[in-house]
């Protein structure tokens, strides 16, 4: 016969994130994020590392959008894990955004792209810190634009006969 044991009320559905956050900090990724992106300001409560850890926690618990972070925030309050609100995350990410660069072809068609140099630098430094990228390694880069249909006011009409966006997607 199986024995049942009553556990404390402190158990929550996101308890597995403790080990993930511990690994996130132990790997040095949080420090790399904070060093690469710099401080957010002197009076701001959350660092860039806290912002990205909040996003990580949100998406690892099944969140589909930034606002879903508010579903996990109550479980972490008081447990030593700093989860930023969705508004704070959105403000921080907006400040990291960069303007698009536009290039016109010979036919007069304008092409917009965004280099996102701060985020690219961060990505490379995080890969190096976690041992996924070492000097002298050969890597394959696959880059393509994917059409995402959208009914937003800044969406553009495309050759796919629909309004949407064409973000560049790269994988290594």
pLDDT tens by residue, the chain, 172 residues: 677 666 665 655 666 778 888 888 888 999 999 999 998 877 778 999 999 999 988 888 888 889 999 988 887 776 777 889 999 999 999 999 889 888 888 887 777 777 888 998 998 899 888 888 888 888 787 888 788 888 888 888 887 788 988 777 777 7
Question: pLDDT at position 111, please?
Answer: 75
Taking alpha carbons only, the member of 85, 74, 64 closest to residue 13 is: 74
Question: pLDDT at position 10, please?
Answer: 60
Cβ(61)–Cβ(93) under 8 Å? Answer: no
Question: pLDDT at position 8, please?
Answer: 60
Question: pLDDT at position 14, please?
Answer: 62
pTM of the model: 0.73
Question: pLDDT at position 15, please?
Answer: 65
Cβ(112)–Cβ(100) under 8 Å? Answer: yes
Taking alpha carbons only, the member of 129, 14, 153, 123 closest to residue 75 is: 14
- CA 160/CA 106 separation, integer angstroms: 22
Question: pLDDT at position 104, please?
Answer: 85
Q: 10 Å Cβ neighbour count for 121?
A: 12
* Extended strands (E) in 35-114: 101-104, 110-113
Torsion sign (Cα): 158, 90, 37, 21: negative
Question: pLDDT at position 7, please?
Answer: 62
């Amino acid at each position: 016969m199986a024995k049942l044991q009553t556990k404390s009320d402190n158990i929550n559905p996101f308890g597995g994130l403790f080990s993930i956050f511990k690994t996130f900090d132990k790997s040095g990724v949080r420090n790399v994020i904070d060093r690469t992106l710099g401080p957010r300001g002197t009076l701001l409560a959350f660092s860039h590392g806290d912002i990205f850890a909040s996003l990580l926690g949100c998406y690892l618990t099944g969140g589909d959008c930034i606002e879903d972070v508010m579903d996990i925030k109550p479980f972490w309050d008081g447990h030593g894990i700093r989860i930023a609100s969705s508004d704070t995350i959105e403000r921080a990410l907006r400040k990291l955004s960069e303007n698009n660069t536009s290039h016109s072809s010979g036919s007069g068609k304008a092409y917009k792209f965004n280099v996102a140099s701060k985020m690219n630098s961060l990505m490379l430094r995080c890969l190096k810190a976690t041992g996924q990228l070492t000097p002298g390694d050969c890597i394959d880069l696959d880059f393509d634009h994917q059409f995402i249909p959208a009914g937003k006011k800044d969406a553009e009409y495309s050759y796919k006969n629909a309004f949407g966006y064409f973000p560049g997607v790269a994988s290594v």
